[in-house]
Amino acid sequence: MAVIHHTVLKPTKLELLTSWLPTRPWYVGGAGRRPEPAKAGGFRLDDPQGEVGIEFMVVTDTAGPRPAAYLVPLTYRGAPLEGAEHALVGTMEHGVLGRRWVYDGCQDPVLVAQLLALIEGRVQAQAQSASDTPDREVTRSCTGGDAPLTARPGASAADDRDGTELPAPHGMTLRLQRVLTPVPDDAPLLPPGATGHVAGPWLTPAGTRERGLFAVLRPDPHAQGL
């Protein structure tokens, strides 16, 4: 299990995201606005090798024309990830671990592999700020074949105006909902045709609790038996 260190980070995660969020095509705050990100929820996953920190952070931003909530998967590494310069969010100094390289987790194969394992139920979501504590508010589902979902080597994520899409094995595609939309309690979580999901809660700037989809697994209509 990953150990959560309660220590000083310079710069902080939110300071890194203040500069990074406006560079994303799914950022809805508007051109020329400086984000005001605030931590609103999230969870962690464990790296089986114990080398990479994996966090799915939810941040809210009130700087734009309307409040928005974003899913920001991040990985924390003790050395640069080769070939991932385009995915670097920034570097920080960790009070215990020293320099950490922070990456957009959708472009990090360790995070993608563990997210697929979460969808299948092979691993469990962990609390964002406590060591060795499962987060039971994060839900997941998976239907379909018996073959395990494993990350495709060399597969790259693509951002668009609403989220991030990654090719998945067995002719599937994995979509991360970057701009989060609350789902009413009496409404189904899964969109039509979806075969798996991850969902969880977050807090709005007003302090109310919302819940929605974080990731959706579905057949890729363009796949050719991958």
What's the pTM? Answer: 0.91
Query: What are the residue ranges spanned by the domains of the chain?
Result: 9-219
Structure tokens belonging to residue 172: 């599937």
CA distance 221 to 6: 45
Contact 166, 112 (CB under 8 A): yes
Q: Residue 226 — very low, low, confident or very high, per pLDDT cuts 50/70/90?
A: very low
CA distance 87 to 67: 26
Amino acid 192: pLDDT: 86
212 beta partners: 200
Per the model's pLDDT, the better-predicted residue between 177 and 130 turns out to be 177
User: What's the rounded mean pLDDT across residues 108-129?
Assistant: 94
Amino acid 166: pLDDT: 92
CA distance 22 to 176: 18
